[in-house]
Amino acid sequence: MTESSTASNPDIEISRRRLLGTVGAAGAVGLALGATGGALVHSAVTDSPAGAPGAAGALSSLGSTAVAFEGDHQAGITTPLQAKGHVLAFDLAPGAGRTEAAALMRRWSETARRLMAGETAPTGDSGIALDAGPSSLTVTFGFGHSFFERTGLTARRPAALDPLPDFSSDRLDAQRSNGDLWVQIGSNDGLVAFHALRAIQKDAGEAARVRWQMNGFNRSPGATASPMTARNLMGQIDGTGNPKPADPDFDKRIFVPAAGPGPAEHAWMAGGSYAVVRRIRMLLDDWDKQSLAQQEQVIGRTKANGAPLTGGGETTPLALDKLGTDGKPVIPSNAHARISAPAQNGGAAMLRRPFSFHDGIAPDGTPDAGLLFICWQADPLRGFVPVQRKLDRGDALSAFIRHESSGLYAVPPGPRTGEYVGQRLLEG
């Protein structure tokens, strides 16, 4: 089916909304509000088992779950990890400035609002997701350092968006780094995620062009017997030390305060966050040659359940002072878990929310695979930078990874009803 025929057919245009309405009438289970304002999730599922009367056309809970577009913070930050993701950056077209950027953000926001609710795109819907629910779709927008020069807003660019320092282990590809505008798309269904990617790309029109784009994945919800921290492509549990929304200082660490330091020109970021994005290739062939014991020494945790080498379970605190019978620390001095621990970095913390990637086999026969590392913090100079500096100086894991691209983006707060993302910056 062509895009033009989809856009001109009102029955097709409303099919996703009609489907969700039918499911909701069959037996919605209600609303659940997360710990932060951008985490409103609606799940509508039928009580009828598959094949029973009334079950026809019903969505599973995976497909029917929707994440709110409006809120104190943008969706896709505290939203649970999604199975499929796309991360991409755009550069404004030559001659495009603040006016064109505002119009683009208005288009993108309306498209994201509709797609996240399980509706069709405002114009030219491709039909890719007509028979799907929202599937926890999130679309998150951010601005790079160069965006402010292109739009004449350098006076409103926060100091926290200053370029990241160079690290000795970096092997960065400039063509796959930075960018004026950044978009993160996540969903628990691959077609729903791709549908959003296509809509966002088409909405850019003549105003912006794709600078780089990367695809990622995580374990699907329900794939394990009970909820657990995700594993990366090395097989390691990844994200154990993440700040939790229930922590009393979570908002302080992750979101820009409403009345924080800095000039009034930067107040548009109140409630926003800063995303550091790194493509980290894992040298999996080299890693797989290591014995299990060697791998656990590199990480400082057991592979089976993520527990510290000093004992306990995954969430047991690291006993960094514990010595073995040989008089050496049980968790080696260069172990990744030790070096990255907040206690070793003046309390520096960030919310890691990555995707894994696999982009085929490289010419040398090795897998081009690894981690699309995405971390969130109120200030990258107090979050990512001090931790990465220490890792750069002696992390045992460095021998098995390669940082190949990098970006830092200011992610504004969630929009109010009727507002587009970034409006407080572009029209303030």
**One digit per residue, pLDDT tens: the chain, 428 residues?**
434 433 344 444 444 544 444 333 333 333 333 334 444 444 333 333 433 444 445 667 889 999 999 999 999 999 999 999 999 999 999 999 999 999 999 999 999 999 999 999 999 999 999 999 999 999 999 999 999 999 999 999 999 999 999 999 899 999 999 999 999 999 999 999 999 999 999 999 999 999 999 999 999 988 888 888 999 999 999 999 899 999 999 999 999 998 655 666 789 999 999 999 999 999 999 999 999 999 999 999 999 999 999 999 999 999 999 999 999 999 999 999 999 998 888 888 899 999 999 999 999 999 999 999 999 999 999 999 999 999 999 999 999 999 999 999 999 999 999 999 999 999 98
Beta bridge partners, 373, equal 278
238 is a catalytic site residue: yes
Among the listed residues 337, 202, 334, 258, the one whose alpha carbon sits nearest the alpha carbon of residue 37: 258
**Which one, of 279, 244, 276, lies nearest residue 356 by Cα?**
279
Q: How far apart are CA 110 and CA 122, in angstroms?
A: 7
CA atoms of 155 and 266, how far apart (whole Å) = 9
Q: Which ranges of 314-410 would DSSP assign to H, the alpha helix?
A: 336-340, 384-394
For the chain, give every domain's residue range: 74-428
Q: By the 8 A CB rule, do 371 and 280 touch?
A: yes
And the tokens for 148? 């402010």
pTM score > 0.75 for this model? Answer: yes
Which residue in the list 91, 125, 203, 238 is annotated as catalytic? Answer: 238
